[in-house]
Amino acid sequence: MTKQVVLVVMDGVGKSTTGLGDAVAKANTPTLDKLLAACPHTYIKAHGTAVGLPSDDDMGNSEVGHNALGCGQVYSQGAKLVEEAIESGDIFNSSAWRELKDNCVANNGAMHFIGLLSDGNVHSNINHLIALIKGAKKDGVKKAFVHVLLDGRDVPATSALQYVDILEKAMAALNDGDFKARIASGGGRMKITMDRYFANWDMVKQGFYTHVYGEGRQFATATDAIETFRKETPGIIDQDLPAFVIAEDGKPVGAMRDGDSVILFNFRGDRAIEISMAFDNADFTAFDRGNMPKVLYAGMLQYDGDMRLPKRFLVEPPKIRYTLSEFLVNKGVNEYAVSETQKYGHVTYFWNGNRSEKFSDALETFEEIPSDKVSFDERPWMKSAEVTDKVIEAVESGKYGFIRCNYPNGDMVGHTGNFDATVIGVEAVDLGLSRLLPVIEKNGAKLVVTADHGNADEMLEKNKKGVVSVRTAHSLNPVPFIIFNADAEIADGEFGLSNVAATVAKLMGFEPDEHWDAPIIK
C-alpha cells in the first residue's frame, strides 16, 4: 500500500443528458465543479447490463450499484435472476414453491402475494407476480390474494392505476369456477410494509395488520381506494398513499387464515428484511403480531444469507465472491465505512457482497449515523455534515488504509420529487466535499468521488404527448468518476461501476484481483 484512499459515493448524482429537471446542474456546486475542471475524471455506466440487470432499459439502484462497486464484477441481479428462473421453470420446482403450494392444496388455503406493484425492476416486476399467480392456478391452488404496495418512486409518481388495471385484467383472464384471484389490500410503499434498516417499525406493523388481518379503511376495489385518496389529498403521489383494505359486506376479502401460504414477490433485499422477520422469526419482538395465523412464508429470494432470512425462498441469490473488502482484509488493510441509516447497509452489507457479517472484526470498522425520521425534503441536508465529520476523523486518525462513505441526499431527497429541496441536498454534498479536500491534501491521501446511479439529475420527464411531470425514479444517466490528489491517468474505454474496485486497489499500490474488471486508470 502506498497511500490512504478515500471513496465517496454521491448517491443519486448522475450527469444529465437532457437537462430536464437537472437539480445537479441547478445546484451551486463549486467543489464538484473544481474537481471536474482540474482532476482526472470520466463518466461511468451505472444501470442496466453494467450492474447485472436484464437490459439497458433497466435503471440502476443503490443495492446493485454498491454490489458492483464492492465486488469489481457484474453478477446477474434480482430481476434477471427471477426472469431466468421463471423462463426455465426452476422457480416452480424449487422446494419452497412446492411446499407452499402443497400447503394451500392440502388445507384448501389461499396463496397470498405481497409486493411492489410496478415494472420498475428495482424491487419487483408485475410480470413476475402474474407468472406466480398463473403458476399457483396451474398447481391446483384455488384462491390467490394480492397485497399491493404502490410505487410512484421507481416508476412515474402517479402511475398506480395503470398497474392495478394490468393486474386486474390478468386475474380476470385466469378466474373461473375453480380459481379466484383478487386484490386484498394495499398502500403506498413509503407508508406501509417496506421500511428498511429498522428505521420505522410502525410502517411494518401497519402493513402487517393491513395484509394479515385486513385491518384498515375499507374500499370495494383498489381503484376506488386510490381515486378516493387522490381526491382527499390533491397532489399526493403513489408512494405516500395510505393503507387500504378490500372488503365485502364490511369484511375483508383476503385476511390470512391458518393453512394459507404467503410469498413476498419483491426480489430486492433491503426493504424486504423487516416484513420477512415479522412473518418468519418465531422470537420476533419488534411489535405485537397479535393472534397470528399459521401460514407458510417465502421470499422471492433469500434477502439475508447470514441471518438465513427468510428460511424459504424461490430463487437463489447471486453468490458474490472476491469482494474488495475481503481482498483488503487479506492484505491486512484496515477499512472504515460510514453513512447514515438510509444508506448504511449499502456501504456495509451490499458493498461486502450481501454479507451481514464482517470479513474481519479486527480490520473492518462500520459506523452508522441515525437518519432523521422525517420526509427528506424537510431536511434535505440530511446527515451530510455528520458523515463528513466521521470521514475527516477517520482520515486524520491514520488508522485506515481504505475509507468509504455514502452521501444519500441526491437519492433520498430526489425520490420525494421536490426539486428545490433536492438542489439543497446536492449542495449539502458539495459542502461536505469542500471540507474533505483540504484534509485529503494535508494527510497525503487519495480521493475517489463517484455515484451509484443517477436520480437528482433528472427530476422531470416528458411523455409522448409532450406533457412534463415530476419524476421520482432513478435515471439511466452515467455517473461521475473523479480522482483527486493522485498522479493518475484515465484509461481508454467505456467503464461501469464494476471497474471501481480494481481502480481503488491500483491507487493503493496493489495488483488488482484477477477476477475483477479492469481499472479505470492506466
Of 16, 55, 62, 88, the active-site residue reads: 62
Q: Are residues 476 and 427 part of one domain?
A: yes
The CATH number covering residue 419 comes to 3.40.720.10
Domain contains 200: yes
137, HSE (Cβ side, Cα atoms, 13 Å): 19
Q: Are residues 27 and 128 part of one domain?
A: no
Q: Are residues 265 and 179 part of one domain?
A: yes
What's the mean pLDDT in 46-67? Answer: 90
pLDDT at 356: 84
Domain contains 513: no
pLDDT at 316: 80
Domain contains 326: yes
pLDDT at 232: 98
Dihedral, CA atoms, 187, 193, 195, 200, nearest 10 degrees?
A: 100
Where b means 16+ CB within 10 Å and e means fewer, 250-281 reads eebbbbbeebbbbbbbbbbbbbbbbbbbbbbe
Q: Are residues 25 and 148 part of one domain?
A: no
Could you report the per-residue pLDDT of 120-153, keeping only the tens digit for each? 988 999 999 999 999 999 999 999 999 999 999 9
What's the mean pLDDT in 66-91? Answer: 93
Residue where a domain stops, chosen among 253, 287, 315 = 315
Domain contains 512: no
What angle is formed at CA 45 by the lines to CA 41 and CA 47, rounded to 5 degrees?
150
Give the total residue count for the chain: 522
Q: Are residues 88 and 227 part of one domain?
A: yes
Contacts of 382 (CB under 8 A, 6+ apart): 340, 342, 371, 372, 376, 407, 408, 409, 412, 413, 425, 428
Nearest residue to 331 via CA among 33, 98, 1: 1
Q: Are residues 140 and 215 part of one domain?
A: yes
Question: Does the pLDDT value for residue 1 go beyond 60?
Answer: no
Domain contains 120: yes
Nearest residue to 481 via CA among 62, 73, 39: 39
Q: What is the mean pLDDT of the chain?
A: 95
Residue where a domain stops, chosen among 257, 287, 315 = 315
pLDDT at 344: 96
Task: Tell me how far apart the alpha carbons of residues 480 and 430 are, in angstroms, rounded to a whole number.
Answer: 14
Task: Tell me how far apart the alpha carbons of residues 216 and 8 are, in angstroms, rounded to a whole number.
Answer: 43
Nearest residue to 62 via CA among 11, 14, 13, 23: 11
What's the mean pLDDT in 390-408? Answer: 98
- Whether the model clears a pTM of 0.95, i.e. scores above it, the answer is no
Task: Tell me how far apart the alpha carbons of residues 355 and 365 are, in angstroms, rounded to a whole number.
Answer: 15
Q: Are residues 346 and 465 part of one domain?
A: yes
Sheet holding 5-10, edge to edge: 41-44, 479-484, 446-450, 5-10, 402-407, 335-340, 364-369
Of 159-173, 285-299, 311-325, the one with minimum mean pLDDT is 311-325
pLDDT at 517: 98
Structure-block grid coordinates of residue 416? 420525494
Q: Are residues 69 and 129 part of one domain?
A: no
Task: Tell me how far apart the alpha carbons of residues 203 and 187 are, in angstroms, rounded to a whole number.
Answer: 11
Q: Are residues 14 and 161 part of one domain?
A: no
Which residue is associated with the grid cell 416486476?
A: 125
pLDDT at 2: 63
Do residues 413 and 374 make contact, with C-beta atoms less than 8 angstroms apart? no
DSSP at 147:
E
pLDDT at 306: 57
Residue where a domain stops, chosen among 253, 281, 315 = 315
The alpha-helical segments, DSSP class H, found in 175-217 are 201-213
Q: Are residues 64 and 84 part of one domain?
A: no
pLDDT at 415: 92
Do residues 36 and 487 make contact, with C-beta atoms less than 8 angstroms apart? no
Residues paired with residue 403 on neighbouring β-strands, in sequence order: 6, 336
What's the mean pLDDT in 486-490? Answer: 96
The CATH number covering residue 280 comes to 3.40.1450.10
pLDDT at 122: 86
Cis check for the bond before 310: say yes or no (omega within 30 of 0). yes
Q: How confident is the model at residue 463 (pLDDT cuts 50, 70, 90)?
A: confident
Q: How confident is the model at residue 304 (pLDDT cuts 50, 70, 90)?
A: confident
Contacts of 73 (CB under 8 A, 6+ apart): 320, 322, 498, 515, 516, 517
Of 68-72, 301-305, 359-363, the one with minimum mean pLDDT is 301-305
Q: Are residues 343 and 278 part of one domain?
A: no
How many domains would you assign to the chain? 2
Task: Tell me how far apart the alpha carbons of residues 490 and 507 are, in angstroms, rounded to a whole number.
Answer: 12
Domain contains 516: no
Q: Are residues 330 and 290 part of one domain?
A: no
pLDDT at 466: 85
95 catalytic? Reply is no
Task: Tell me how far apart the alpha carbons of residues 503 and 507 are, in angstroms, rounded to a whole number.
Answer: 6
For residue 325, what are the domain limits? 5-74+320-507
Domain contains 456: yes
Of 291-295, 355-359, 500-504, the one with minimum mean pLDDT is 355-359
| Interstrand relation of 261-264 and 296-301 (parallel, antiparallel or unpaired) | parallel
